[in-house]
Structure 1
Amino acid sequence: MGLQTDGFQKYDLRKKIYFTLFFFGIALFAHAQNLNPKITAHKTNLTINIDGILNEPVWQQTPLTNQLYDENGEYNNTTACFAYDADNLYAAFKCKVNSTSELNRTRLDKDDQFMLSNDWVAFCVDTYHDGINAYAFLADAAGNELDGSLNPPTRDLSFSFSSKWTSAVKRNQDGYTVEMKIPLENLPVRWNKDSMTMAIQIIRNDKQNNRMVQWPATKNIGKFQTVVLHEINQTHPQNLSGVNIKDRLAYKKSKIDVSTMLGRCQGGDASVMDYLIFKKRDISGAEHPRMLQYSMRPERVKRIFENTSYFKNLHTNIDFETMLERSQTTAFIVLRNDTILYENYFNGFNKDSTFTSFSVAKSFVCTLVGLAISDGLIKSEEDKITKYLPELMKKDARFSEITIRDLLSMSSGLAYSHDGFPSDDEFTYQSPDLRSAVLEHVRISDHPGKHWLYNNYNPLLLGMILERTTGKSVAKYASERLWQKMGGGNASWSLDEHGFEKMESGINCHAHDYARFALLFLNKGKYNGIQVIPESWVQEATQPQERPKGYYDYLLKNNTYYNYLWWGKFRSGQKNANDFFGMGNKGEYVYICPQKKLTIIRLGFEYGFTPASMSWPEMFYEFATDFE
């Protein structure tokens, strides 16, 4: 299915901008800010009229820089100024261009990501000066505004954060000028003392010269400039993530049309709110859900985490719980056996909130396949997929070489690309008809079993096989064979517009349900005296198997492996009891350490800090190692 529309070109360019942001200027690194000397910012008591004209005396007194930088060297077509008062941050810019006639004039709604294809300037602020998170405020030559959080390296610039701020733009014969006013009260930071240290960065996207440049002027693209503010008023943010779910949901609903591919993409990237937008099918829970025990040891848990090398390398003065809130965590639970040692919720979420899954859903899919084999509905994981999906033979006879095991292992040899729009990411997440999208766009690029390639076509094909072999919807089979028997509460699974479960994502449940699922695997598939999942399947699905040379060497270099839609980390001396975990977009983890009988659940808006997906498992692994 091709979409030859203006939207196609804009989304394609947006992805290129994301790619550029990642490599040329918005990536934060945990300790980069410490390399710059501090500067004391200019404080003003005068009123600054935000009109884009830049005629106030303060802008003559506070030039910050006129030298920006990229990999090609210095850049002198932007001047930036910065000031503050007791309640606001102010930024001003003079942006020169080659031709003013080529500047964008189209007005867009606030936070419309299409403006990333224009000429724009950004003021970025790391409010805690710790490299965990920062916030970017962008304005383009047409006066459009966009803001977001910098959560490297998932999207770098993500849009769960949105704030109320003011900007104005004026065009002139050389280009355009910008003024910004950012209220401190609207930043996700608790200012509770007279003097505060933070860090800032300036970015200019010069579209006509195809350059994205930054200040501080250095080859270290992760460096922010340390600044000190004095005599500022105390602030009272709602939370430290900067995310207002109600506002962001209203914005996304106003943009999206669930009936078409392009319409579903208009709401932007996947988000934790998607379960409130997509259709869903109930997963009926147990009459009496499994009750988890409590023996709270919060100080012990926090102390061990704060002593991990990963936490220490953040070079931050904040404590572990503030780090969780800052890193856009929504739920964090630590259990030993079935007993909760630590449980806390952040950023507006609580024990009764619904937490949607992204790729953690894949680990549930693996479990359902194992149950279907146990039930005799699927003969074996060695079955060829064309036994159940014969129509694939019409596309390519080589589909007959692929087994269910290959799909589970992400080694099916199916092609997968993130490039262009719509890419395979859109086809497998946003399509209103996932079955048709898979059958139309799935294609072969390699022999099965040779190489590992993370690929969302695999779980969707498994879902189609489950439907055909069980004669039921995937959610109904999950409810009857897994959810109720593990003691889960009522839940749901998000659907496309044709009633097919999203498979690679979309399980919507309480945080305790993720813990119940983990405990089932920790206890080798058994709950309440009943073998819910065959013990042999738990072992086969979660522990490493022999793989050919070159299969996924880059994972092995990081002490990591991948098996049946589960990730794992090798633990010395534990041949059949290595740590394993389900992992999904936005930093969701169901982490299990059999050796220490530990389970860790982390859910969030975003991954939260560099280097994203594998940072949390590294911390969990070290925590489990040190836990006695």
Structure 2
Amino acid sequence: MDLQAFVEKVNTIGVLGVKVSQHNELIGEWHSEGECRRNVYSVTKSFTSCAVGFAVQEGLLSLDEKLTDVFAEDLPENPCENLKKATVRDLLTMHLGQKSASLMGAQRPLYEEDNWVKLSLSIPFEYEPGTHFVYNNVGPYLAGMLVQRRAGCDLISYLTPRLFSHLGIKRPTWEMDPLGNSFGAGGLFLTLSEMHKLGLFYLNKGAWNGKQLLLAEWIEESTRQYAPDAPYAYLFWRGKYNSFRADGKYGQFSIVLPDYDAVISVVSECRKTEELMAAIYEEICTQL
């Protein structure tokens, strides 16, 4: 694959590297500098989605469980009716029912409350869950917390034998909350190649080196658009060419294109991500 036109479009907006695989073979690669582990921001959410999938597969939790049941000890007094309706599935779809985003990067250092589960559930649920798309770190954080509580370990320890070890990802760094829990909404540090492996794992519907690790049915369910008001699945974005992607701030992407049997991954320090995404679609996808 010729990446020259893509590189010419993006080399002034902070792109650091790109990898393109098709039919499970690397067909294109470019780096502006050597690979190192970087904060992949909200790509982390897609790893949390994957952890939820393993937990569902193992019978540790159900997407239909009510938040008032799974977080019974952390609820505010007199939970509102919308909170009473919220389920684990609502944590994954950005349709939780809260009006604005919380636990975002600029907010996290400022909270006086160290118990972020209790903090998250105390934020008003102004909408009925499932009715309004609001991009919000509360959902993936709580989803990650539920996996950790049910599994009895942090998300790194949970995913290592189930995913990371199979993909050849050595124990990564992962941001923690004030009480030492993995922060399921962000703060995972990976190389471009490690992030690319997540895309390949999802392209192959949960199989790796001939072994089915995660149910293909979960891969399909968790990457399907949830509601008509936003191109979002279970902590994955939907995109052009029937694609879905793990998507992090400043241009961290692992884009899966099932119709082309391909994965495109990018790491960046980019403040013009719409321009970057357009270049991916125009200069890379059109060559597949």
Is residue 405 of structure 1 aligned with residue 94 of structure 2?
A: no
Quote the Cα distance in structure 2 between the aligned partners of 1:541 and 1:435.
Answer: 30
Structure 2 length as normaliser, TM-score? 0.89
- Conserved in 2, the CA contact under 8 Å of 1:518 and 1:592? yes
Q: Secondary structure at the match of 2:30?
A: strand
Q: Which residue identity is paired with 1:616?
A: L
- Determine if the alignment matches structure 1 residue 474 to structure 2 residue 138: no
Give the match's secondary structure for 2:266.
strand
2:167 aligned counterpart, secondary structure = coil
1:332 aligns with 2:18: yes
Give runs of aligned pairs for residues 84-95 of structure 1, distance below 5 A: none
Query: Which of 234, 243, 247 is 1:564 aligned to?
Result: 234
2:69 pairs with 387, 393, 397, which one? 387
C-alpha deviation, 1:382, in angstroms: 1.4
Assess if the C-alpha contact under 8 Å between 2:224 and 2:233 holds in 1.
Answer: yes
Give the CA deviation at 1:433.
Answer: 7.7
Asked if 1:589 corresponds to 2:271, the answer is no
Residues 395 and 416 (structure 1 numbering): CA distance in 2 closer, same or farther, change over 3 Å? farther
Greater RCO, CA 8 A, separation 6+: 2
d(CA) in 2 for partners of 1:496, 1:604:
25
Matched, 1:376 2:62: no
Distance in 2 (CA, whole Å) between partners of 1:424 and 1:365 is 16
Question: Where do 5+ consecutive residues of structure 2 fail to align?
Answer: none
Partner of 1:171: none
Structure-2 residue corresponding to 1:619: 279
1:53-452 map, 5 Å: 297=1, 300-302=2-4, 306=5, 320-346=6-32, 349-351=33-35, 353-378=36-61, 380-390=62-72, 391-392=74-75, 394=77, 396-398=79-81, 399-417=83-101, 425=104, 429-430=108-109, 436-440=115-119, 441-452=122-133
Alpha-carbon distance change, 518 to 428 in structure 1, aligned in 2, over 3 angstroms = farther
- 2:142 maps to which of 461, 469, 472: 461
Match of 2:11, SS state, is helix
Q: Whose radius of gyration is greater, 1 or 2?
A: 1
- Matched-pair contact (CA < 8 Å) for 1:365–1:463: yes
Quick check: 1:408–1:459 contact (8 Å CA) kept in 2? yes
d(CA) in 2 for partners of 1:444 and 1:501?
24
User: What 5-or-longer segments of structure 1 have no aligned partner?
Assistant: 1-296, 307-319, 418-422, 556-560, 572-577
Aligned partner letter, 2:77: K
2:218 paired with 1:516? no
| Aligned positions, number | 284
Counterpart-to-counterpart distance in 2, 1:579 and 1:341: 18
Cα deviation per residue 1:278-336 (whole Å; 9 max; x = unaligned)?
xxxxxxxxxxxxxxxxxxx4xx233xxx3xxxxxxxxxxxxx43443311112211111
Indicate yes or no: 2:264 matched with 1:600: yes
In structure 1, give the amino acid aligned to 2:279: M
Alignment-mate amino acid for residue 26 of structure 2: I
Cα–Cα, structure 1 residues 540 and 444, in superposed 2: closer, same or farther, change >3 Å? Answer: same
Taking structure 1 as reference, are residues 426 and 570 closer, same or farther at Cα in structure 2, changes over 3 Å only?
Answer: closer
User: What is the CA distance between 1:515 and its match in structure 2?
Assistant: 1.1
TM-score by length of 1: 0.43
Amino acid at match of 1:408: L
Structure-2 change in CA distance of 1:395 and 1:354 (3 Å): farther
Task: Report the structure, 1 or 2, having the larger helix content.
Answer: 2
Structure richer in strand, relative to its length: 1
Q: 1:466 to 1:563 in 2, by over 3 A?
A: same
Q: SS at 1:493's partner residue?
A: coil
Residue 392 of structure 1: CA displacement?
Answer: 1.8
Equivalent in 243, 246, 249 of residue 579 of structure 1:
243
Q: Share of identical aligned residues, percent?
A: 24
